[in-house]
Structure 1
Amino acid sequence: MRSGMAQAALLAYRLAGICAYPLAVPYLSYRAFKGKEDRARRLERFGHPSQPRPRGPLVWVHAASVGETNAVIPLIKELMRREIHVLLTTGTVTSASLVETRLAGEVIHQYVPLDLKFSVKRFIAYWHPDAAITAESEIWPTTVAELARRNIPQIRVNARISDRSFDRWKNHLSISELLFGKLALVVARSDVDAERFKDLGAWPVVISGNLKGDSDPPPCDEAVVARYRAQIGDRQTWAAICTFAGEEEGAAFVHRALKPRNQQLTIIVPRHPERGDEVEAMLVEKGLVVARRSRGDEITLETDIFLGDTIGEMGLYLRLTEISFVGRSLTAEGGQNPMESAMLGCAVLSGPNVQNFRETYQHIVKRGGARMVRDIEMLAKAVHYLMTNEQARYKMIDSGHEAIQDMRGALSTTIKALEPYINPLTVTARLRPAGAGG
């Protein structure tokens, strides 16, 4: 009975998608107007290809946003080393820009199709992937069903599931078992995530740790870093990165509270760079002098805030400081990944709302590389303490490096789990070179 109701619910979802299909065009037009879609490539969201499919084995890798894309880059490079073509889809303009910066010419990039039957069928029929590897926490029912119908293995890597998502799926267990049961393999980030996937019907499930630990630090243009360091001179700095609404105001409060004592430069990097105008207006209203990276503004002695409103330059911003507050953790919930900050030699500060990265923070905090703050006032005290206590700051930085070293190894575990699916593709590629017919 439960299985029949679940099937009916999924059928209703697909029918609703078919009915909503005509509305997708104005929906994407609106998102393009807001800067959230690439206007020139909107047809990709309907499954229309913009590049030719290469001959030979091809694996579809999907990474929803910047964080997931960064995490799977080492895995993608390993697949290419094994002579497997990679089709990488992402869902955001920022992640597409990151792909262009870090993987240009190495992978085929497309925007992920909307989870509508016509879009997904068109996409799969053209690209005909030999396997689908996803590094996203969401489950898209139509995509899962269409891949399963074609017997294409579906694999989750670096898999996590948030508290909220887990509770939602548990409330619809028959549907979750039907969908999660179609996954050929789940490579979970942590013990907790592994148990949750099992509870929702996934099998087999293995634990790898966080792929981000095996990533290279975000790149930068050394000449640009040197130029900004020269402009900053001997001023102290701190950064508030991946910030959401309310956290930029908090960073402004910290800056104004500490400026009389430290004369520091504050670096603010909004999670969504398109909010740059909004954030600048708020800062200027508070009487602060702002230099924007997107305008190429020079940092002077009068500059209060360096606003990092560009895509794919986190490596630049983190190399200009040794203190990093990681946002989406005070006025927003879920947290952002602190590993890049720790990799690049920053003492890490965060608010308490880090549910999506709980295990990562627990490990770095336990090692001594990160500290949690309750509110903006406590953040101001922590930033001041680290600015004025070099020994404590360097101890946190060293502890963060050690924590990252402890977390390495997820890539080898993931590759080993994937070998039954990718080894045959490598054999096929070597027996039939990419230029061969058929």
Structure 2
Amino acid sequence: MAPAPLTLTIRLYKALTAIGAPLALCAARRRFEATNGPMDRLTERKGQPSLARPDGPLIWMHAVSVGEFLSILDLVGDLVKRDTSVLVTTTTTTAADIAAKRLPEGAFHQFAPLDTPQATRRFLDFWAPDLAIFVESEIWPNQILACETRGIPRALINARLSAKSVASWHKRPKTAQALFSRFDRIMCQTDSTRDALAAFVTKDAALSTSGDMKAAAAPLPVDTAEAQTLGVDIGDRPVWVASSTHEGEESIVSAAHGIVTSQAQNALLILAPRHPERGDAIETQLRADGWNVARRSAGTPITPETQVYLADTLGETGLWYHLSPIVLVAGSFAPVGGHNPYEPAHFDCAILHGPLYANFAQAYGEMADCDAALEVEDATALGLSVAGLFNSPRLRTLQDNAHTYVTAAKNNRDTVVQTLLSLRT
């Protein structure tokens, strides 16, 4: 069955992005500067390569940021073992930094081209991928249509649609059909996303549920030498982690730690912001709140006087989870939809989260049902919950249930790999 015809909305989008390409590049430059991006690689956003194309089959996989990138890392490893190179593109500098450290041999990173006709053309002319894979909710009309025109198969994996996104697409059903029907395969995190997309996909066989790829990911790496050193520095102090905090959440965490230390005076907070480049501002705020702060990026050691350890580095999240029995998964007090609860579950952590977790609604719902995670509404509830878990039998219950949950989480990654490889040109 042929894909749905293009709509006026899509045709206008193509025209406007062509005309507005210089403005889009200016906006990308500002984001690069704001996030300390490598300016010598800004041309990658124009579709101009900074690496040579390897010989042989090449799969292009686009994952916008850190969470999406980490969700496909093991999948990338599976694919390169099948004698294919994998080009991974991301948009954010943070994801690029992690990719540089963790991509396996046979895979490499470039910044994603802007979704303009010009950048997309340059990108596809050079890389000529045999398969284009978009991750979660990356729907870029120019890239999708250009791949179709060139006969490059297209897949959307780990697809996720929030209730807001579903409602938005249903207001533009013909445009949704024109885009989603151009994927050769769509593999969804949940049945609810699959059912929502069924209205927009012209081939039933193209749509399936594969589960959340994040659940199938291997545990985060841990530097054992650093873990031993920091473990000695921390000693037997009560410790908890606030992971992936966003702007506005540090004040909540700081207030909560005030409650924790009122009940456990020597408690240590490890605060790991989602964007480490915010470290200066966060340190200033914490010191203004009266905390004795040691900073990871500055090499400041943890001493008995340290009350907050500001873990403003990349690629060490597994280390913090290894060191702490209690983890607040942040991004859940800010309107960003929450972050990955599977990662701390691999480390037998008791998992707490705030009320804003739309991106992981199914996971947190299931974890609540099996007493594997605890929702806290505000700073007071967070502080009381953390303090209450120290030396409580409930801590072990939450830890055991979180580990059991993530161990039982099902995702047929081998089937996903075989499906993707079968699509290659």
- The alignment's TM-score, normalised by the length of structure 1, stands at 0.92
Give the distance between the partners of 1:332 and 1:228, measured in 2 at CA: 33
8 A Cα contact 1:44 1:111, kept in partner? yes
- Cα distance change on mapping 1:293 and 1:202 into 2, 3 Å: farther
Matched, 1:316 2:290: no
Residue aligning to 1:420: 422
Give the distance between the partners of 2:418 and 2:32, measured in 1 at CA: 40
Residue aligning to 1:430: none
Aligned 1:382-393 pairs, distance under 5 A:
382-389=385-392, 391-393=393-395
Residue aligning to 2:337: 334
Give the distance between the partners of 1:221 and 1:155, measured in 2 at CA: 35
8 A Cα contact 2:25 2:46, kept in partner? no
Residues 237-280 of structure 1: per-residue CA shift (max 9 Å, x gap) = 01111111222111111111121321200111111111111111
Aligned 1:140-219 pairs, distance under 5 A:
140-201=140-201, 203=203, 204-219=206-221
Matched, 1:15 2:15: yes
Any idea what SS the aligned residue of 2:303 has?
A: coil
Any idea what SS the aligned residue of 1:325 has?
A: strand
Residues 344-384 of structure 1: per-residue CA shift (max 9 Å, x gap) = 12100011211111111122222221011122211112111
The AA in structure 2 aligned to 1:7 is T
Give the distance between the partners of 1:121 and 1:331, measured in 2 at CA: 37
The alpha-carbon deviation at position 202 of structure 1 amounts to 6.2
8 A Cα contact 1:94 1:312, kept in partner? no
Long gaps (5+) in structure 2: none
- The alignment's TM-score, normalised by the length of structure 2, stands at 0.95
Give the distance between the partners of 1:95 and 1:29, measured in 2 at CA: 17
Give the distance between the partners of 2:257 and 2:222, measured in 1 at CA: 26
The AA in structure 1 aligned to 2:355 is P
Q: 2:247 aligns with which of 242, 245, 254?
A: 245
Residues 389-410 of structure 1: per-residue CA shift (max 9 Å, x gap) = 0x21111111111101111333
8 A Cα contact 2:25 2:45, kept in partner? no
The alpha-carbon deviation at position 416 of structure 1 amounts to 4.1
Give the distance between the partners of 2:294 and 2:355, measured in 1 at CA: 30
Residue aligning to 1:94: 94
- Cα distance change on mapping 1:189 and 1:58 into 2, 3 Å: same
Residue aligning to 2:71: 71
Residues 306-365 of structure 1: per-residue CA shift (max 9 Å, x gap) = 111111111111111010111111233411111101111210001121111111112222
The alpha-carbon deviation at position 419 of structure 1 amounts to 4.6
The AA in structure 2 aligned to 1:235 is R
Residue aligning to 2:43: 43
- Cα distance change on mapping 1:374 and 1:202 into 2, 3 Å: farther
8 A Cα contact 1:57 1:85, kept in partner? yes
Residues 181-202 of structure 1: per-residue CA shift (max 9 Å, x gap) = 1011001011111112223336
The alpha-carbon deviation at position 104 of structure 1 amounts to 5.5
Give the distance between the partners of 2:19 and 2:67, measured in 1 at CA: 33
8 A Cα contact 2:201 2:207, kept in partner? no
8 A Cα contact 2:84 2:106, kept in partner? no
Matched, 1:347 2:345: no
Give the distance between the partners of 2:25 and 2:68, measured in 1 at CA: 27
Residue aligning to 1:222: 224
> How many residue pairs end up in the alignment?
419
Give the distance between the partners of 2:419 and 2:32, measured in 1 at CA: 39
Give the distance between the partners of 1:241 and 1:189, measured in 2 at CA: 23
The AA in structure 2 aligned to 1:358 is A
Residues 275-304 of structure 1: per-residue CA shift (max 9 Å, x gap) = 111111111111111111111110111111
Residue aligning to 1:134: 134
Residues 404-430 of structure 1: per-residue CA shift (max 9 Å, x gap) = 1111333133224335225xx7xxxxx
Matched, 1:408 2:410: yes
- Cα distance change on mapping 1:202 and 1:336 into 2, 3 Å: farther
- Cα distance change on mapping 1:419 and 1:29 into 2, 3 Å: closer
Residue aligning to 1:307: 310
After TM superposition, the structure 1 stretch with the greater mean CA deviation from structure 2, 367-376 or 42-51, is 367-376
- Cα distance change on mapping 1:106 and 1:418 into 2, 3 Å: closer
Residue aligning to 2:277: 274
Residue aligning to 1:435: none
Q: Percent identity?
A: 34
8 A Cα contact 1:232 1:299, kept in partner? yes
- RMSD in angstroms over aligned alpha carbons? 1.6
Give the distance between the partners of 1:154 and 1:99, measured in 2 at CA: 23
Long gaps (5+) in structure 1: 426-438
Give the distance between the partners of 2:284 and 2:49, measured in 1 at CA: 40
The AA in structure 2 aligned to 1:41 is R
Any idea what SS the aligned residue of 1:158 has?
A: strand
